[in-house]
């Protein structure tokens, strides 16, 4: 992987949105924040390993909330070098409603989101990605773009891979963002074919591919040449594979489940942070699982900083190690 002067580096591609979260099963109380699947992962990666250089590739507007998000990036130590600005589009917005079991539903206002035009905005400013070890993107990043920009994103990722950057992909399927299963399948497969690390979910694959079990996913990703992947399989937990062989299975049993928002995002971020630190796959899964266990116990995508320390302590106890 490319070397830089700042230690290891993770670049996430995606969309940052204003988050309105409704708690206490009431629409009368909402908390305002900023979030997005790959951005959430980036924040948790940085929290887990403060030595990582974490940068976000996206676009925002020049509206009030877009200006506020720059302060949000700074507060979380996210490099905004690759965040373009649009003068005629704004930052998107979404709301979350949580049910009594901690499951969530979403509503979106993102048709005029600047992130939908990030590829053309970056092309106009001649953005060059450099000194990156892993690029992480998702099916959501693909889904918000035009067909031409989807292809442009795939070509950008492919060019970076040819330059020695490792590629990580999470399908993170949202049905409303695609014209049908075949549409999503086409672009997911393009992404998987480029991926050194994949983070598929059984629910996503069941919806898109009709895969009924983990073995179906394993066979499919093996056929596409993906060598390392972790399948998030609900009650079965997380199953990690390298070269088609299952190297670990980690059950997922949080003490309590308040809100599942960003559970998968936090898992992705910490897993990638651990792999960048040359931890083996099983150890990386254990670290990511410890973080996700904490995240589901809080409301919202970005939970209190103290949860990271709790996760690290749990991880150390589980692995019997004095230090991470």
User: What are the catalytic residues?
Assistant: 265
Instruction: Tell me the backbone φ, ψ of residue 48, rounded to 5 degrees.
Output: -70, -40
The continuous run of DSSP H or E covering 198 comes out as strand 197-198
40 secondary structure, DSSP code: H
Question: What span, in angstroms and rounded, lies between the C-alpha atoms of 246 and 260?
Answer: 26
From residue 148, give the alpha-carbon distance in Å to each of 119, 145, 262: 9, 8, 29
The continuous run of DSSP H or E covering 4 comes out as none
Q: Is the CA virtual torsion 142, 197, 11, 291 positive or negative?
A: positive
- Dihedral, CA atoms, 41, 44, 48, 49, nearest 10 degrees? 70
From residue 16, give the alpha-carbon distance in Å to each of 42, 58, 132, 254: 11, 8, 20, 27
Q: For the residues of 74-121, what is the DSSP string, one character each? A: HHTT-B-TTEEE-SS-B-EEEEEEE-TTS-EEEEEE-TTBGGGGHHHH
Q: For the residues of 167-193, what is the DSSP string, one character each? A: EEEE----GGGSSSHHHHHHHHHHHHH
Cβ atoms of 75 and 31 within 8 Å: the answer is no
* CA proximity to 268, closest of 244, 287, 245: 287
CA 135 to chain centre: 11
């Amino acid at each position: 992987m490319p070397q830089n002067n700042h230690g290891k580096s993770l670049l996430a591609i995606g969309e940052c949105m204003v988050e309105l979260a409704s708690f206490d099963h009431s629409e009368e109380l909402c908390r305002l924040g900023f979030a997005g699947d790959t951005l959430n992962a980036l924040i948790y990666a940085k929290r887990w390993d403060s030595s990582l250089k974490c940068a976000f590739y996206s676009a925002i507007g020049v509206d009030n909330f877009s200006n506020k998000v720059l302060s949000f990036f700074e507060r979380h130590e996210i490099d905004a070098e690759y965040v373009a600005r649009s003068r005629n589009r704004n930052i998107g917005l979404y709301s979350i409603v949580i049910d009594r079991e901690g499951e969530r539903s979403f509503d979106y206002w993102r048709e005029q989101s600047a992130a939908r035009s990030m590829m053309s905005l970056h092309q106009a400013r001649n953005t060059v990605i450099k000194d990156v070890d892993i690029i992480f993107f998702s099916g959501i990043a693909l889904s918000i773009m035009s067909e031409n920009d989807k292809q442009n994103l795939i070509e950008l990722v492919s060019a970076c891979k040819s330059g020695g950057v490792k590629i990580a992909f999470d399908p993170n399927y949202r049905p409303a963002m695609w014209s049908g299963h075949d549409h999503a399948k086409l672009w997911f497969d393009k992404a998987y074919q480029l991926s050194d690390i994949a983070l598929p979910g059984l629910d996503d694959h069941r919806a898109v591919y009709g895969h009924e079990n983990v073995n179906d996913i394993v066979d499919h990703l093996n056929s596409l040449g993906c060598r390392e992947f972790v399948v998030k399989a609900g009650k079965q937990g997380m199953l990690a594979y390298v070269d088609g062989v299952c190297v670990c299975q980690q059950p997922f049993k949080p003490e309590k489940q308040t809100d599942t928002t960003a559970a998968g995002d936090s898992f992705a971020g910490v897993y990638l942070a651990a792999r960048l630190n040359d931890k083996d796959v099983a150890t990386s899964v254990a670290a990511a699982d410890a973080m996700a266990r904490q995240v589901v116990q809080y409301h919202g995508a970005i939970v209190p900083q103290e949860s990271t320390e709790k996760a690290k302590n749990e991880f150390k106890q589980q692995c019997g190690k004095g230090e991470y």
